[in-house]
Amino acid sequence: MNFFKRKQFSRKNIFKINSDGFTLVELLVAAGIFSIIIIAITGIFIGAINAHKYVISTKIILSETEYATDFMSRALRMAVKAKDSACIPAGTSYQVLEAERKIRFINALEGDRCQEFYLDLPSQRIKSSVGGIQEDLTSPNLSISALKFSYAPSSSQPIVTIYLEARIGNVPPIKLQTSISQRNLNM
C-alpha cells in the first residue's frame, strides 16, 4: 500500500509541474513562430525603405533633368541665324557636333555671343559654355549616360531635338526627349 500512495503522490507532482510551466517543445514552437513574424515584418520594412529610396532618386533625376532641359530650351529658342560668325556656319541657326555631343548657336539674349551645350564625358555632366565661361547644368550626383542633339533645318522654323539619358546609383536610367523651335523665326 505504501507503493500505491507513492505513485499517486508522484502523479500529482507530475501534473502539477506540467500545469505550472511550458515544455521545451512548446517554447521552441513559440520562438519559431515569433522569429517568422519578426523576419516577415523586417522584410516588409526593408522593402518599404528600398521603394522610398527609388522614388526619391527618381524625383531627383526628374528635377535635375527638367532644370537642364528647360535651361537649354530657353537658350536654344533665342538662337539667331549667323551672318558672319566664327561660331557656326553663316546662314544657319545651329551647328550640331555629334561626335562631341555638342550643339553651338548664337544666343540673342547673351549679346549675340556663341553658346554651346555639351556632355562632359569624364564627369558625365551637361555643361554650358558662353564666351568660354563654362557652367555645370547637372550635379555630380546625376550621371548623364547619353546626350544627343538633332537639328532639322527649315527655311522658317528650325527644330532642335534633345535626347538625354540620366541615372543615379542603381536606379534604372530615365530617358527624356524634347523638341524646341526657334522663337525668332528666320523669315
Task: Return the SS3 of 134.
Answer: strand
Task: Single out the residue of 160, 51, 153 nearest to residue 103, CA to CA.
Answer: 160
**Mean pLDDT for the stretch of residues 20-43:** 93
Answer yes or no: is pLDDT of 167 > 60.
yes
pTM of the model: 0.74
pLDDT digit string, tens, across residues 79-125:
888 887 788 888 888 899 888 889 999 988 888 899 999 999 999 99
Q: pLDDT-based confidence at 162, cuts 50/70/90?
A: very high
C-alpha cell at 133: 565661361
Q: Which pLDDT value is given to residue 129?
A: 93
Q: Concatenated DSSP letters for 37-91?
A: HHHHHHHHHHHHHHHHHHHHHHHHHHHHHHHHHHHHHHHHHTEE--SS-SSS-TT
